[in-house]
């Protein structure tokens, strides 16, 4: 079927990056976009909650057919991922389709998956994941990690993070929710995300953002009867009449196509017959000419001049004029 949406609002990827304090750095993006994303659909289930049941109980009612159709269409927009054979390093992105029944909008979000090792000091993790910082003002790398020198004074380059490191507080790059901590079964992208390593998963939005509203669903490729319309409601009698009209139009279109094909075939045969008659006339003329040659009719050769020695003078000598 054909689904027609209306874009209620949207934001480009550059707009999403502009409002982020730390945008996700994907580099060239070749590895990030080399594999299909994980598709997540929410509120497109087979049943929806209905709080208007008798006695205040919560009942479930089946979702409308166009909701199920949207879920199936969104899932088939991207290649399927085989959970049994997929590599963990290939799961780098997530596409979320969220349906809001109250306003009948579909929100689309695009995220990148970022894994960060947990249980490691923030400064140690920085040494593992990024380049070595400037330690020229320190006497020992231990001063950078602990935030203090051997005498107990605050290290020059660690003055802003000494309190956080000393108290053991969770850094802003490490997720506080322990439900996001997972043990990696395979090596994942990023330094420190080795196999059997405990890491925190975080979603970084890439953009764009889309808010869509389903307007119409048509059978076929934009030419069938209307299966759903958000703005126009028809009675069963009107729907049957519309379906009958569409069927008549389809039959008429089929008849016109058949008539056109018959006309094309008739013209093709007429052209072939004309070429065949022309070929036969040509063969008849050739046979007549061969018959005349067999009867002894010889075409006389062109006249020419001979000299005394029997040689043919094709052209006069220099300074002479040909006598006619």
Structure confidence at residue 164 (pLDDT): 37
Q: How many CB atoms lie within 10 A of CB 136?
A: 7
Q: Alpha helix locations (H) across the chain?
A: 13-19, 65-75, 122-129, 141-146, 162-167, 236-294
pLDDT category at 93 given cuts 50, 70, 90 is very high
Q: Cα–Cα distance between 204 and 306 in angstroms, integer?
A: 104
pLDDT category at 198 given cuts 50, 70, 90 is confident
pLDDT category at 55 given cuts 50, 70, 90 is low
Q: Cα–Cα distance between 299 and 302 in angstroms, integer?
A: 9
302 versus 144: which is more confidently predicted?
144
Structure confidence at residue 297 (pLDDT): 56
Q: Cα–Cα distance between 261 and 310 in angstroms, integer?
A: 72
**Model pLDDT for residues 233-267, shown as the tens digit of each residue:** 888 888 888 888 888 988 999 999 999 999 999 99
The model's pTM is 0.59
Residues facing residue 213 across a β-bridge: 6
Residue 297: exposure state from Cβ atoms within 10 A (0-12, 13-18, ≥19):
exposed
Q: Cα–Cα distance between 102 and 90 in angstroms, integer?
A: 36
Q: Cα–Cα distance between 290 and 297 in angstroms, integer?
A: 10
> Stretch 192-203: mean pLDDT, rounded?
82
pLDDT category at 108 given cuts 50, 70, 90 is very high
Structure confidence at residue 125 (pLDDT): 64
Q: 160 by DSSP, 3-state: which?
A: coil
> Stretch 169-192: mean pLDDT, rounded?
65
């Amino acid at each position: 079927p054909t689904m027609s949406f209306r874009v209620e609002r949207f934001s480009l990827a550059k707009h999403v990056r502009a409002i982020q304090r730390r945008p996700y750095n994907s580099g060239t993006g070749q590895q990030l976009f080399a594999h299909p994303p994980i598709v997540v659909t929410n509120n497109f289930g087979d049943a929806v909650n209905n709080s208007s049941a008798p006695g205040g109980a919560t009942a479930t009612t089946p979702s409308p057919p166009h909701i199920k159709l949207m879920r199936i269409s969104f899932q088939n927009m991207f290649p399927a991922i085989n959970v049994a054979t997929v590599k963990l390093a290939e799961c780098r992105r997530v596409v979320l389709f969220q349906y809001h029944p109250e306003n009948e909008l579909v929100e689309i979000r695009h995220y990148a998956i970022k894994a960060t090792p947990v249980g490691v000091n923030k400064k140690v993790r920085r040494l593992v994941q990024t380049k070595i910082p400037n330690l020229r003002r320190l006497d020992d790398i231990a001063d950078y990690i602990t935030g203090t020198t051997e005498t107990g004074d605050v290290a020059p380059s660690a003055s802003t993070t000494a309190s956080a490191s000393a108290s053991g507080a969770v850094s802003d790059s490490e997720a506080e929710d322990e439900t996001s901590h997972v043990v990696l079964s395979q090596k994942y992208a990023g330094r420190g995300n080795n196999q059997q390593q405990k890491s925190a998963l975080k979603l970084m939005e890439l953009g764009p953002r889309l808010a869509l509203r389903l307007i119409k669903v048509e059978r076929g490729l934009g030419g069938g009867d209307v299966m759903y319309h958000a703005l126009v409601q028809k009675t069963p009698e009107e729907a049957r009449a519309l379906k009958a009209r569409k069927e008549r139009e389809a039959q008429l279109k089929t008849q016109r196509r058949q008539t056109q094909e018959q006309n094309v075939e008739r013209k093709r045969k007429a052209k072939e017959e004309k070429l065949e008659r022309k070929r036969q006339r040509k063969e008849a003329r050739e046979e007549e000419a061969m018959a005349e040659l067999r009867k002894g009719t010889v075409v006389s050769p062109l006249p020419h001049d001979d000299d005394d020695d029997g040689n043919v003078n094709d052209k006069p000598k220099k300074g002479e004029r040909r006598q006619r």
